[in-house]
Amino acid sequence: MRDDVHLSQLASVGQIAAGIAHEVKNPLTAVKGFLQLLKESHDEMYVEIAQAELQNALGTLENLLHVAKPDLENEPKQLISLSVELQSLIHLFQDQIYRVQIQKHLSDTEACVYGKKNQLKKALFNLLKNAFEAIPEKGTITIQHQVENEMVVVSIEDTGTGIPPEKISMLGTPFFTTKVEGTGMGLAQVFSVIYQHGGQIQVFSKEGEGTKFVLSIPLETTKLTHGVIRMDLQVREGE
C-alpha cells in the first residue's frame, strides 16, 4: 500500500470514528440526563424527549449502515432516465432561483440506466444540494446529461467556493463536513450508490471558482434498443 493512500485511509477511519462518537454520544448523554430527571420528578414528558434523542442516535447509525451496506435496501432495480429525474429534482430548488441560475443541457432522455431509482435520485439530490450550498450569494449551476462510450454521464457544476486540494481525498468519507449544520453523509451516499451501480465519480474543483462532479453509469438502453433490453430484463427477473 502506498504511504499516502494508507495515511488518507487512517485519516478517514479517524474521521468516521470521531463522527460516530460525536453523533451518538450527544443524544445518549441527553438520554442519561433525562432519565435522571425522570427519576427525580416522575414527569412522563422526559420519556418522550429521551425517546426522540434515542431516535436521533439510531438515525445516525442507520444512515451509516446504508452507506456501508447499500444492498440491505432491497429496492428492486428498474430502467431509469437520469435526465427525466434531474428535470424533476430541479423543481425542488425553486426557492433558490432568485440567486442561482440553472443551465440545463439534458439530452438523450431515452437513455436509461438500470438501477435503484430512489437511491439514484437521492444521490442526484445530494449533489444538487451541495452545489446550491456551495454558492454563498449569486452563481450558476450547470447540469449536463449525455451518453458517451456506452456510459450515461451526468455532470453538476457550480460556481461556488470550490474545495481545497487537501480536502479532496476526504470527500465521500462519512461525517466529513465543513458546514456548521452539515452531516457529512451526502457524498458518502453518492459514492456508495454510484459504485454499487458499476459507475465512477470524478471531481474537479478550484478554490474560489467552483466544483464539478461527473458521474458515469453504464448505459442500459436507448429507444433504439428496447427490443433487446426487454429480453435482457426477463433474464434478470428470474435471478
Which stretches of the chain bind Mg ion, using CB under 5 A? Answer: 130, 186
Backbone angles phi, psi at 151, to 5 degrees: -120, 145
First-to-final CA distance of the chain? 37
Residue whose CB is less far from ligand ADP, 34 or 191? 191
Spell out, one character per residue from 89 to 128, where the chain touches ligand ADP: x when CB under 6 A holds, - when not.
Answer: -------------------------------------x--
Binding of residue 83 to ligand ADP (CB under 6 A): no
Site string for ligand ADP, 123-152 (x = CB under 6 A): ---x---xx--x------------------
d(CA 180, CA 115): 33
Q: Which of residues 162-181 bind ligand ADP (CB under 6 A)?
A: 163, 171, 176-179
Taking CB under 6 A as the binding criterion, the range among 99-107, 117-125, 145-153, 186-194 that sits at the site for ligand ADP is: 186-194
Q: Which residues pair with 100 in a beta bridge?
A: 139
| Between 77 and 122, CB nearer to Mg ion | 122
C-beta of residue 57 within 8 angstroms of C-beta of residue 179: no
Angstrom CA distances, 22 to 8, 35, 55, 68, 145, stand at: 21, 20, 15, 19, 38
